[in-house]
Chain A
Amino acid sequence: MSDSLDAYLVLAGILFAIGSFGFLARRNAISMLMSIELMLNAVNLSIVAFGAFIPGLGAQGSVIALMVMAVAAAEATVGLAIVIAIYRNKRTPLVDEYDSMRQ
Protein backbone atom coordinates (compact mmCIF):
# COMPACT_ATOMS: atom_id res chain seq x y z
CA MET A 1 0.00 0.00 0.00
CA SER A 2 2.84 2.38 0.73
CA ASP A 3 4.23 1.53 -2.71
CA SER A 4 1.35 3.03 -4.67
CA LEU A 5 0.84 6.64 -5.62
CA ASP A 6 -2.91 6.54 -4.89
CA ALA A 7 -2.48 6.13 -1.15
CA TYR A 8 -0.31 9.23 -0.84
CA LEU A 9 -2.60 11.28 -3.06
CA VAL A 10 -5.72 10.27 -1.12
CA LEU A 11 -3.91 11.11 2.11
CA ALA A 12 -2.97 14.53 0.73
CA GLY A 13 -6.56 15.08 -0.41
CA ILE A 14 -7.98 14.28 3.02
CA LEU A 15 -5.45 16.57 4.71
CA PHE A 16 -6.34 19.33 2.23
CA ALA A 17 -10.05 18.87 3.02
CA ILE A 18 -9.34 19.09 6.76
CA GLY A 19 -7.41 22.30 6.20
CA SER A 20 -10.14 23.81 4.06
CA PHE A 21 -12.72 22.98 6.73
CA GLY A 22 -10.59 24.72 9.35
CA PHE A 23 -10.10 27.75 7.12
CA LEU A 24 -13.82 28.09 6.42
CA ALA A 25 -15.14 27.31 9.89
CA ARG A 26 -12.79 28.67 12.54
CA ARG A 27 -13.32 32.09 14.08
CA ASN A 28 -9.78 32.76 15.21
CA ALA A 29 -7.51 34.33 12.59
CA ILE A 30 -4.50 32.32 13.75
CA SER A 31 -6.51 29.10 13.50
CA MET A 32 -7.25 30.05 9.91
CA LEU A 33 -3.53 30.56 9.26
CA MET A 34 -2.79 27.15 10.80
CA SER A 35 -5.39 25.62 8.48
CA ILE A 36 -3.66 27.29 5.52
CA GLU A 37 -0.41 25.68 6.67
CA LEU A 38 -2.17 22.30 6.72
CA MET A 39 -3.39 22.82 3.15
CA LEU A 40 0.10 23.84 1.98
CA ASN A 41 1.51 20.71 3.61
CA ALA A 42 -1.06 18.57 1.80
CA VAL A 43 -0.06 20.07 -1.54
CA ASN A 44 3.60 19.57 -0.68
CA LEU A 45 2.94 15.92 0.13
CA SER A 46 1.30 15.39 -3.25
CA ILE A 47 4.21 17.12 -5.03
CA VAL A 48 6.78 14.94 -3.26
CA ALA A 49 4.68 11.84 -3.99
CA PHE A 50 4.54 12.68 -7.71
CA GLY A 51 8.27 13.29 -7.73
CA ALA A 52 8.91 9.96 -6.03
CA PHE A 53 6.74 7.91 -8.38
CA ILE A 54 6.94 9.45 -11.85
CA PRO A 55 10.29 8.55 -13.41
CA GLY A 56 10.46 11.49 -15.79
CA LEU A 57 10.34 14.01 -12.97
CA GLY A 58 13.54 12.91 -11.28
CA ALA A 59 14.48 15.21 -8.45
CA GLN A 60 12.33 18.09 -9.66
CA GLY A 61 9.47 17.27 -7.30
CA SER A 62 11.70 17.59 -4.26
CA VAL A 63 13.16 20.88 -5.50
CA ILE A 64 9.69 22.34 -6.07
CA ALA A 65 8.64 21.13 -2.61
CA LEU A 66 11.59 23.02 -1.10
CA MET A 67 10.50 26.17 -2.96
CA VAL A 68 6.94 25.74 -1.66
CA MET A 69 8.28 25.46 1.89
CA ALA A 70 10.21 28.73 1.53
CA VAL A 71 7.18 30.52 0.12
CA ALA A 72 5.03 29.09 2.94
CA ALA A 73 7.48 30.45 5.49
CA ALA A 74 7.25 33.91 3.89
CA GLU A 75 3.46 33.66 3.86
CA ALA A 76 3.33 32.70 7.53
CA THR A 77 5.57 35.62 8.47
CA VAL A 78 3.54 38.24 6.65
CA GLY A 79 0.18 36.71 7.64
CA LEU A 80 1.01 36.60 11.34
CA ALA A 81 2.38 40.14 11.20
CA ILE A 82 -0.91 41.29 9.66
CA VAL A 83 -2.90 39.45 12.36
CA ILE A 84 -0.81 41.05 15.12
CA ALA A 85 -1.20 44.49 13.54
CA ILE A 86 -4.99 44.06 13.35
CA TYR A 87 -5.06 42.73 16.92
CA ARG A 88 -3.29 45.87 18.09
CA ASN A 89 -6.10 48.01 16.68
CA LYS A 90 -9.18 45.87 17.30
CA ARG A 91 -8.09 43.99 20.46
CA THR A 92 -9.58 40.71 19.24
CA PRO A 93 -8.25 37.82 17.13
CA LEU A 94 -11.74 36.77 15.98
CA VAL A 95 -12.33 37.41 12.29
CA ASP A 96 -16.09 37.89 12.52
CA GLU A 97 -15.52 40.99 14.62
CA TYR A 98 -13.38 42.64 11.95
CA ASP A 99 -16.32 44.52 10.43
CA SER A 100 -15.02 48.08 10.13
CA MET A 101 -14.99 47.87 6.32
CA ARG A 102 -18.62 46.72 6.20
CA GLN A 103 -21.18 49.27 5.10
Chain B
Amino acid sequence: MVRRLIPIVLGLAILGVVAGIAAAMIVFLGQDWGDALFWIFAAIMLGSGLLVVTMRDIIRCGLAMIVCFGALAGIYVILGAPLIAAAQVIVYIGAISVLILFAIMLTQTKDAPSRLVFQTQAIPAAIASVVIAVVLALAIAATDWSEAAQRVRVATDAMSQLLFDQFVLPFEIVSVLLLAAVIGGVFLAKREPGGPS
Protein backbone atom coordinates (compact mmCIF):
# COMPACT_ATOMS: atom_id res chain seq x y z
CA MET B 1 0.00 0.00 0.00
CA VAL B 2 2.76 2.39 0.94
CA ARG B 3 4.79 1.37 -2.11
CA ARG B 4 1.89 2.26 -4.37
CA LEU B 5 1.72 5.73 -2.91
CA ILE B 6 5.39 6.47 -3.65
CA PRO B 7 4.93 7.59 -7.31
CA ILE B 8 1.97 9.79 -6.37
CA VAL B 9 3.90 11.43 -3.54
CA LEU B 10 6.92 11.84 -5.80
CA GLY B 11 4.83 13.42 -8.55
CA LEU B 12 3.17 15.81 -6.12
CA ALA B 13 6.58 16.69 -4.66
CA ILE B 14 7.98 17.48 -8.12
CA LEU B 15 4.91 19.60 -8.91
CA GLY B 16 5.35 21.44 -5.61
CA VAL B 17 9.04 22.07 -6.26
CA VAL B 18 8.30 23.42 -9.75
CA ALA B 19 5.52 25.67 -8.46
CA GLY B 20 7.82 26.86 -5.65
CA ILE B 21 10.62 27.67 -8.08
CA ALA B 22 8.15 29.60 -10.27
CA ALA B 23 6.82 31.55 -7.29
CA ALA B 24 10.37 32.28 -6.09
CA MET B 25 11.41 33.49 -9.54
CA ILE B 26 8.43 35.80 -9.76
CA VAL B 27 8.56 37.11 -6.18
CA PHE B 28 12.27 37.29 -5.40
CA LEU B 29 13.96 37.71 -8.78
CA GLY B 30 11.33 40.07 -10.10
CA GLN B 31 10.85 38.18 -13.35
CA ASP B 32 7.53 38.20 -15.10
CA TRP B 33 5.34 35.19 -15.80
CA GLY B 34 6.68 34.60 -19.29
CA ASP B 35 10.29 34.31 -18.14
CA ALA B 36 9.49 32.06 -15.19
CA LEU B 37 7.37 29.76 -17.34
CA PHE B 38 10.06 29.72 -20.03
CA TRP B 39 12.74 28.62 -17.59
CA ILE B 40 10.53 25.97 -16.02
CA PHE B 41 9.41 24.53 -19.36
CA ALA B 42 13.00 24.60 -20.65
CA ALA B 43 14.25 22.75 -17.56
CA ILE B 44 11.48 20.14 -17.82
CA MET B 45 12.14 19.70 -21.54
CA LEU B 46 15.91 19.30 -21.27
CA GLY B 47 15.67 17.11 -18.15
CA SER B 48 13.15 14.73 -19.66
CA GLY B 49 15.11 14.76 -22.93
CA LEU B 50 18.19 13.62 -21.04
CA LEU B 51 16.09 10.94 -19.36
CA VAL B 52 14.90 9.76 -22.79
CA VAL B 53 18.43 9.08 -23.97
CA THR B 54 19.88 7.72 -20.72
CA MET B 55 17.25 5.65 -18.93
CA ARG B 56 17.53 1.89 -18.91
CA ASP B 57 13.86 0.92 -19.14
CA ILE B 58 12.69 1.81 -22.63
CA ILE B 59 9.02 2.18 -21.63
CA ARG B 60 10.07 4.88 -19.18
CA CYS B 61 12.05 6.47 -22.02
CA GLY B 62 8.82 6.66 -24.01
CA LEU B 63 6.95 8.22 -21.10
CA ALA B 64 9.75 10.76 -20.57
CA MET B 65 9.49 11.58 -24.27
CA ILE B 66 5.80 12.41 -23.75
CA VAL B 67 6.79 14.79 -20.90
CA CYS B 68 9.41 16.38 -23.17
CA PHE B 69 6.87 16.95 -25.95
CA GLY B 70 4.39 18.43 -23.48
CA ALA B 71 6.95 20.92 -22.17
CA LEU B 72 7.81 21.82 -25.76
CA ALA B 73 4.12 22.53 -26.40
CA GLY B 74 4.24 24.91 -23.44
CA ILE B 75 7.23 26.67 -24.99
CA TYR B 76 5.28 27.04 -28.23
CA VAL B 77 2.49 28.72 -26.27
CA ILE B 78 5.02 31.13 -24.72
CA LEU B 79 6.34 31.83 -28.23
CA GLY B 80 2.86 32.92 -29.28
CA ALA B 81 2.05 29.99 -31.57
CA PRO B 82 -0.92 28.28 -29.90
CA LEU B 83 -1.98 26.38 -33.02
CA ILE B 84 1.46 24.78 -33.27
CA ALA B 85 1.20 23.86 -29.59
CA ALA B 86 -2.18 22.22 -30.20
CA ALA B 87 -0.79 20.35 -33.21
CA GLN B 88 2.21 19.29 -31.08
CA VAL B 89 -0.10 17.83 -28.42
CA ILE B 90 -2.32 16.11 -30.98
CA VAL B 91 0.34 14.81 -33.35
CA TYR B 92 3.27 14.07 -31.06
CA ILE B 93 1.68 13.23 -27.71
CA GLY B 94 -1.48 11.78 -29.18
CA ALA B 95 -0.22 9.89 -32.20
CA ILE B 96 3.54 9.43 -32.44
CA SER B 97 4.10 8.64 -28.75
CA VAL B 98 1.32 6.05 -28.75
CA LEU B 99 2.78 4.54 -31.93
CA ILE B 100 6.23 4.36 -30.34
CA LEU B 101 4.85 2.85 -27.12
CA PHE B 102 3.02 0.18 -29.16
CA ALA B 103 6.22 -0.58 -31.08
CA ILE B 104 8.14 -0.85 -27.78
CA MET B 105 5.61 -3.33 -26.44
CA LEU B 106 5.74 -5.34 -29.68
CA THR B 107 9.53 -5.62 -29.68
CA GLN B 108 10.35 -6.19 -26.02
CA THR B 109 11.99 -9.49 -25.20
CA LYS B 110 11.63 -10.96 -21.75
CA ASP B 111 14.31 -13.62 -22.17
CA ALA B 112 17.13 -11.29 -23.18
CA PRO B 113 16.82 -8.05 -21.26
CA SER B 114 19.49 -5.72 -22.53
CA ARG B 115 21.73 -4.95 -19.60
CA LEU B 116 23.90 -2.79 -21.80
CA VAL B 117 21.93 0.28 -22.86
CA PHE B 118 24.69 2.05 -24.76
CA GLN B 119 26.87 0.97 -27.62
CA THR B 120 30.64 0.93 -27.38
CA GLN B 121 30.90 4.35 -29.01
CA ALA B 122 28.89 6.03 -26.25
CA ILE B 123 31.74 8.19 -24.94
CA PRO B 124 32.79 9.54 -28.36
CA ALA B 125 29.09 10.14 -29.07
CA ALA B 126 28.76 12.12 -25.84
CA ILE B 127 31.83 14.19 -26.72
CA ALA B 128 30.50 14.80 -30.23
CA SER B 129 27.10 15.92 -29.02
CA VAL B 130 28.63 18.26 -26.41
CA VAL B 131 30.77 19.72 -29.20
CA ILE B 132 27.62 20.16 -31.34
CA ALA B 133 25.84 21.97 -28.51
CA VAL B 134 28.82 24.24 -27.76
CA VAL B 135 29.42 25.11 -31.42
CA LEU B 136 25.73 25.87 -31.95
CA ALA B 137 25.64 28.07 -28.83
CA LEU B 138 28.78 29.92 -29.91
CA ALA B 139 27.40 30.49 -33.39
CA ILE B 140 24.12 31.78 -31.98
CA ALA B 141 25.95 34.07 -29.55
CA ALA B 142 28.23 35.40 -32.29
CA THR B 143 25.42 36.24 -34.69
CA ASP B 144 23.83 39.66 -34.66
CA TRP B 145 20.11 39.20 -34.06
CA SER B 146 19.26 42.90 -33.93
CA GLU B 147 16.79 42.50 -36.81
CA ALA B 148 14.92 39.91 -34.79
CA ALA B 149 14.70 41.77 -31.51
CA GLN B 150 10.94 42.23 -31.51
CA ARG B 151 8.41 39.51 -30.89
CA VAL B 152 5.86 39.29 -33.68
CA ARG B 153 2.50 37.76 -32.86
CA VAL B 154 1.47 35.16 -35.39
CA ALA B 155 -2.29 35.32 -35.85
CA THR B 156 -3.93 31.96 -36.43
CA ASP B 157 -6.21 33.26 -39.18
CA ALA B 158 -3.26 34.74 -41.08
CA MET B 159 -1.54 31.39 -40.77
CA SER B 160 -4.50 29.46 -42.16
CA GLN B 161 -4.83 31.99 -44.99
CA LEU B 162 -1.19 31.39 -45.85
CA LEU B 163 -1.54 27.62 -45.54
CA PHE B 164 -4.45 27.38 -47.96
CA ASP B 165 -3.27 30.12 -50.32
CA GLN B 166 0.46 30.17 -50.86
CA PHE B 167 1.28 26.76 -49.39
CA VAL B 168 -1.61 24.80 -50.82
CA LEU B 169 0.58 22.70 -53.11
CA PRO B 170 2.91 21.53 -50.28
CA PHE B 171 -0.21 20.88 -48.21
CA GLU B 172 -1.61 18.55 -50.85
CA ILE B 173 1.77 16.89 -51.36
CA VAL B 174 1.95 16.24 -47.60
CA SER B 175 -1.44 14.55 -47.75
CA VAL B 176 -0.22 12.26 -50.54
CA LEU B 177 2.96 11.61 -48.52
CA LEU B 178 0.90 10.61 -45.47
CA LEU B 179 -1.18 8.25 -47.61
CA ALA B 180 2.00 6.69 -49.00
CA ALA B 181 3.41 6.35 -45.45
CA VAL B 182 0.22 4.62 -44.26
CA ILE B 183 0.29 2.15 -47.15
CA GLY B 184 4.03 1.58 -46.74
CA GLY B 185 3.71 1.05 -42.99
CA VAL B 186 0.93 -1.50 -43.41
CA PHE B 187 2.88 -3.28 -46.14
CA LEU B 188 6.13 -3.40 -44.18
CA ALA B 189 4.62 -4.53 -40.88
CA LYS B 190 2.30 -7.06 -42.48
CA ARG B 191 2.87 -10.70 -41.66
CA GLU B 192 3.61 -12.80 -44.71
CA PRO B 193 1.42 -15.92 -44.86
CA GLY B 194 4.33 -18.31 -45.38
CA GLY B 195 7.03 -16.39 -43.54
CA PRO B 196 8.29 -16.72 -39.99
CA SER B 197 5.60 -15.98 -37.46
Contact surface of A with B, Cβ cutoff 8 Å: 1-11, 13-22, 24-31, 33-35, 37-38, 41, 44-45, 48-55, 57-63, 65-67, 69-78, 80-85, 87-89, 91-96
Residues of B within 8 A of A14 (CB): 46, 133, 137
Question: Which chain B residues (159-184) contact chain A, with CB distance < 8 Å?
Answer: 159, 161-163, 167, 170-171, 174, 177-178, 180-182, 184
Q: Tell me the number of A-to-B contacts counted with CB atoms below 8 Å.
A: 258
Check if B53 sits within 8 Å of A10, measured CB to CB: no
CA distance A72 to B72 in the complex (A): 16
Residue from the list A3, A28, A67, A95 in contact with B58, Cβ < 8 A: A28
Rounded to whole angstroms, the CA-CA distance of A9 and B64 in the bound complex is 22
The residue among B182, B185, B186 with the most chain A CB atoms within 10 A of its own CB is B185
Residues of B within 8 Å of A11, CB to CB, are 42, 45-46, 75
- Secondary structure of the A contact surface, majority rule: helix
Q: A27-B114, A59-B159 are in contact. List 14 more A-B contacts (CB 8 A).
A: A6-B145, A9-B136, A14-B46, A16-B132, A21-B126, A31-B53, A37-B65, A45-B75, A58-B154, A78-B184, A80-B103, A84-B103, A85-B188, A92-B109
Closest 9 CB pairs of A and B: A22-B53, A13-B136, A24-B125, A74-B181, A17-B133, A2-B38, A21-B129, A59-B159, A81-B188
B109 and A20 form a contact (CB under 8 A): no
**Residues from chain A with Cβ under 8 Å of B108 in the complex:** 93
Once the chains bind, are A2 and B125 in contact (CB under 8 Å)? no
Which residues from chain A contact B178 at a C-beta distance below 8 Å? 70, 73-74
Would you call A3 and B151 a contact (CB within 8 A)?
A: yes
Q: What count of chain B residues pass the 8 Å CB interface test?
A: 95
Contact A6 B159 (CB under 8 A): no
Q: Majority SS of interface residues in chain B?
A: helix
CB-based contact B151/A22 at 8 Å: no
- A55-B45 contact, Cβ under 8 Å, with A13-B137, A25-B125, A85-B188: no
CA distance A80 to B186 in the complex (A): 11
Contacting pair B148 A8 (CB below 8 A): no
B145 and A30 contacting across the interface, CB-CB below 8 Å: no
Residues of A near B174 (CB, < 8 A) are 67, 70-71
A51 & B81 in contact (Cβ 8 Å cutoff): yes
Residues of chain B contacted by A29 (CB below 8 angstroms)? 107
- Residue of B whose beta carbon sits closest to that of A55: B152
B125 in complex: contacting residue of A4, A21, A73, CB < 8 Å: A21
Complex Cα distance, B148 from A10, in Å, reads 15
Min C-beta distance of B163 to chain A, whole Å: 5
What would 25 A/B residue contacts be, using CB atoms closer than 8 Å?
Answer: A1-B35, A2-B38, A11-B45, A13-B136, A13-B137, A20-B128, A21-B53, A24-B119, A24-B128, A30-B104, A38-B53, A41-B72, A44-B84, A45-B72, A45-B75, A58-B152, A59-B154, A69-B91, A70-B174, A71-B174, A74-B181, A77-B182, A81-B189, A91-B109, A95-B119
